[in-house]
Amino acid sequence: NSARGELSRPKFRPRPYATKEEHDHRFGVFKSNLRRASCTPSSTPRVHGVTKFSDLTPAEFRRQFLGLKAVRFPAHAQKAPILPTKDLPKDFDWRDKGAVTNVKDQGGCGSCWSFSTTGALEGAYYLATGELVSLSEQQLVDCDHVCDPEEYGACDSGCNGGLMNNAFEYILQSGGVQKEKDYPYTGRDGTCKFDKTKVAATVSNYSVVCLDEEQIAANLVKNGPLAVAINAVFMQTYVGGVSCPYICGKHLDHGVLLVGYGEGAYAPIRFKNKPYWIIKNSWGESWGENGYDEICRGRNVCGVDSMVSTVAAIYPSSH
């Protein structure tokens, strides 16, 4: 039985540890995470297993690699208009249309929100101009300190977390965001070096999509990749395939990018074909499905439908 066999003979490839005690502790954490991952039924394709995060406790994983600050939309947020849904394609993927940049890696910095923001704006800019440009997450990490006025402490704080709608507001107020090549990512908090003469794209407007999977799909198809929040507890052990996690709740703690959906693929936990969302993550191409996650679509699994934003991009006024 290959699926169980792979899980029963895992490779513990530890990073360098300072002491034998630390090594032994990490091996214990690794075995605990492996037990969680091996809940996948043995007769089905593997969805969870050993990842580069397998020697981290769930608390360490959340602290180092997640970073969503708020758990709800502000009441004043502009609502996206209701779109028709009857003619939606059965399968859709913005990667096939050239609107998605390569998978990036946030490293051990809680800046997921900045990658979700730039990913949505990169797609919107592609729709507006026909040009795919990689935008700077580091500018948001260093320069964006916008707060949600209705929720105390919900401020964009670099590697200590943030919120996509705050970041859209920052880009709107500041006049735009630079290209990644002009303001490269460092994975740590730094001094703001924003150069307004090098703005590559800016936000025309942004809005929130109602908690309805058909409306989310319609906005995705019409407006480009969407900034979404998710409960990411299952993502620590995700290795590929369609995941229907039963271990995660609706508490949103990670910002990602929704780039497409599929009509149906085999989901081990549900034992049948399930429609799914295609999500771009920011943990490098070595994670998941070459940096992507396929999660069951329907019933707001892991809160994926709860906090969805769409953005429109324009040339900066200097162009």
14 and 129 belong to one structural domain: no
Are 201 and 133 spatial neighbours (Cβ–Cβ below 8 Å)? yes
Model confidence at 57, in pLDDT bands (50, 70, 90)?
Answer: low
Output the average pLDDT for the chain: 81
Active site residues: 112, 254, 281
Residue at 81 is within a domain = yes
Higher-pLDDT residue of 17, 84 = 84
Residue at 67 is within a domain = yes
Higher-pLDDT residue of 12, 74 = 74
Q: What pLDDT does residue 245 have?
A: 79
**What percentage of the chain exceeds 70 in pLDDT?**
70
Flag the least confident range among 54-68, 182-196, 211-225, 294-308.
54-68
Instruction: For strands 292-296 and 242-243, give the pairing.
Output: parallel
Which pair of tokens denotes residue 159?
A: 């590697």
d(CA 258, CA 274): 17
Please write the tens of the pLDDT for every residue from 254-291. Answer: 999 999 999 875 555 555 568 899 999 999 999 999 99
pTM here is: 0.81
What is the CATH number for 125?
Answer: 3.90.70.10
Model confidence at 152, in pLDDT bands (50, 70, 90)?
Answer: low
Whether the pLDDT of residue 41 is over 50: the answer is no
Domain count, the chain: 2
Whether the pLDDT of residue 77 is over 90: the answer is no
110 and 187 belong to one structural domain: yes
94 and 46 belong to one structural domain: no
Model confidence at 230, in pLDDT bands (50, 70, 90)?
Answer: very high
144 and 101 belong to one structural domain: yes
Region for residue 8 given its phi and psi (left: phi exceeds 0; alpha: psi -120 to 50; beta: otherwise):
alpha
Whether the pLDDT of residue 58 is over 90: the answer is no
Amino acid identity, position 126 = Y
- Tell me which of 55, 70, 98 is where a domain ends: 55
User: What is the H or E stretch that residue 258 is in?
Assistant: strand 254-267
Q: What pLDDT does residue 244 have?
A: 82
20 and 156 belong to one structural domain: no
Higher-pLDDT residue of 251, 15 = 251
Q: What pLDDT does residue 226 have?
A: 98
132 and 34 belong to one structural domain: no
Residue at 319 is within a domain = no
Which pair of tokens denotes residue 180?
A: 């990644």
Ordered DSSP codes for 297-315: -STTGGGTTTSEEEEEEE-
Which pair of tokens denotes residue 44?
A: 């089905």
Flag the least confident range among 104-108, 123-127, 241-245.
241-245
**Domain limits at 30?**
2-55
102 and 226 belong to one structural domain: yes
110 and 249 belong to one structural domain: yes
Model confidence at 155, in pLDDT bands (50, 70, 90)?
Answer: confident
Q: Which residues pair with 238 in a beta bridge?
A: 48
Q: What pLDDT does residue 126 have?
A: 97
Whether the pLDDT of residue 235 is over 80: the answer is yes
Whether the pLDDT of residue 5 is over 50: the answer is no
Give the helix ranges, DSSP H, for 178-252: 213-223
Q: What pLDDT does residue 267 have?
A: 53
Q: What pLDDT does residue 290 have?
A: 94
161 and 25 belong to one structural domain: no
Q: Look at residues 181, 92, 88, 197 and name the one whose alpha carbon lies nearest to residue 137.
A: 181
Flag the least confident range among 60-74, 103-117, 300-314.
60-74
Whether the pLDDT of residue 192 is over 80: the answer is yes
**What percentage of the chain exceeds 90 in pLDDT?**
49
Q: What pLDDT does residue 4 have?
A: 27
CA distances from 45 to 1, 14, 38, 54, 303 (A): 10, 26, 12, 19, 24
206 and 272 belong to one structural domain: yes
